[in-house]
């Protein structure tokens, strides 16, 4: 996959961007926040953000207020929603927030079309399934399945387990997400260069470069500092921290962009260097704001999938792809159907991938040596 064509001027745009942003705040200046660093190193995460001492399940339920629901309607429904979710006993604040969100949508839908708000009616499996079919048409099958999982938990807590067998009748599972095409990637880069503010342009391009260059997950990008990027053996390397801590060589097409943006960030966050905390909507909220109130132009998960498929197509060894991606082969092989070998090209790994393989071997041996000492 020739993603280098996305950088139409050979990286000059990225260099110009780095020079411009560097003038707004020197790379060496200390923009680090003690709160951000504490968030970054947190061991306990809840829904893509650190679990903080001041966040609780009960507080999440009591503070919840859905957007775009008129006050008079919410006042009529909130006791039902809060009581039902409280009875479900969510164990984590993130789960409580998800259940409040889905339960509120169910109640608003029922109130709008005249379905009884009596829990004996509202939370029955057939009412839930009707809501998913009629009230959630905008959602993917995967999201509808997630909604039903939450609502069945609430329903079982309120009405009893007898109405809710251990396994719900499965909805059709969503198809495996496809990688982005070269044409789409070129479009994303063009779109990012046309955003109205320097802040938007810089950070949209940072997400594209690190996402397509190293394939991290969203919470890993949110923790990344500019100083986590370094050069080694002719490669640009990203040090990813978290439960799947690892070192990932940046694909050559994106290495210059990642390196320059990392230098500009310095000891501050790589994405949105001005951030003082880590919150679960840091990235998706930013992309949505840049998308002019429409659907998000791209998402980090599909950038990651594109990176995985690039390596599968290029012949990267599965062992090393497991190490670089932070997940097992079982989660990688489902993307093999998207992998292709270039026409009339020797199926052996290309030079760039061979260098990545060699670097992965060296890093693996270093870790083994350290573990034996």
pLDDT digits (tens, 9 = 90+) for 131-143: 999 999 888 888 8
Q: How confident is the model at residue 216 (pLDDT cuts 50, 70, 90)?
A: very high
Q: Please tell me whether the overall predicted TM-score, pTM, comes out greater than 0.85 for this model.
A: no
> Rounded to an integer, what distance in angstroms lies between the CA atom of residue 30 and that of residue 35?
14
In CATH, 3-8+179-372 is 1.10.443.10: yes
Cα–Cα–Cα angle for 321, 324, 325, nearest 5°? 80
DSSP letter assigned to residue 275: -
**Each residue of 325-340: b (16+ CB within 10 Å) or e?**
bbeeeeebeebeebbe
E strand or H helix at 64: none
Name all contacts of 185-192 with Cβ < 8 Å and 24+ positions apart.
185/3, 185/6, 185/212, 185/306, 186/5, 186/6, 186/8, 188/6, 188/297, 188/298, 189/6, 189/7, 189/8, 191/297
Nearest Cα neighbor of 280 from 85, 50, 27 is 50
pLDDT, tens only, 297-346: 999 999 999 999 999 999 999 999 999 999 999 999 999 999 987 655 45
């Amino acid at each position: 996959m020739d993603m280098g064509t996305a950088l139409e001027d050979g990286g000059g745009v990225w260099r110009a961007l780095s020079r411009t942003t560097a003038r707004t705040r020197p790379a060496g200046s200390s923009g680090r926040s003690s709160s951000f660093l504490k968030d970054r190193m947190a061991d306990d995460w809840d829904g893509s953000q650190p679990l903080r001492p001041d966040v609780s399940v009960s507080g999440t339920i009591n503070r919840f207020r859905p957007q775009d629901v008129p006050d008079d309607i919410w006042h009529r429904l909130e006791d039902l929603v809060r009581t039902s979710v409280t009875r479900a006993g969510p164990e984590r604040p993130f789960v409580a927030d998800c259940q409040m969100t889905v339960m509120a949508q169910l109640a608003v839908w029922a109130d709008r079309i005249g379905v009884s708000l009596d829990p004996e009616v509202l939370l029955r499996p057939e009412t839930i399934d009707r809501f998913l079919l009629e009230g959630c048409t905008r959602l993917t099958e995967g999201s509808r399945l997630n909604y039903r999982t939450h609502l069945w938990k609430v329903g079982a807590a309120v009405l009893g387990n007898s109405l809710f067998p251990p396994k719900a009748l499965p909805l059709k599972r969503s198809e495996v997400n496809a990688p982005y095409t070269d044409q789409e990637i070129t479009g994303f880069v063009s779109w990012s260069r046309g955003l109205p503010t320097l802040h938007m342009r810089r950070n949209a391009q940072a997400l594209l470069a690190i996402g397509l260059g190293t394939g991290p997950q969203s919470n890993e990008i949110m923790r990344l500092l500019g100083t986590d990027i370094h050069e080694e053996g002719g490669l640009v390397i990203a040090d990813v921290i978290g439960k799947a801590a690892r070192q990932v060589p940046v694909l050559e097409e994106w290495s210059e962009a990642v390196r320059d943006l990392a230098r500009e960030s310095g000891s501050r966050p790589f994405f949105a260097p001005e951030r003082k905390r880590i919150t679960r909507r840091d990235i998706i909220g930013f992309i949505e704001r840049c998308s002019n109130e429409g659907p998000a132009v791209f998402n980090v998960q599909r950038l990651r999938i594109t990176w995985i498929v690039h390596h599968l197509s290029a012949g990267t060894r599965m062992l090393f792809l497991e190490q670089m991606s932070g997940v097992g082969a079982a989660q990688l092989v489902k993307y093999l159907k998207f992998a292709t070998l270039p026409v009339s090209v020797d199926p052996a790994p290309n030079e760039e991938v061979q260098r990545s393989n060699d670097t992965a071997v060296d890093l693996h041996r270093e870790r083994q040596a350290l573990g034996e000492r």
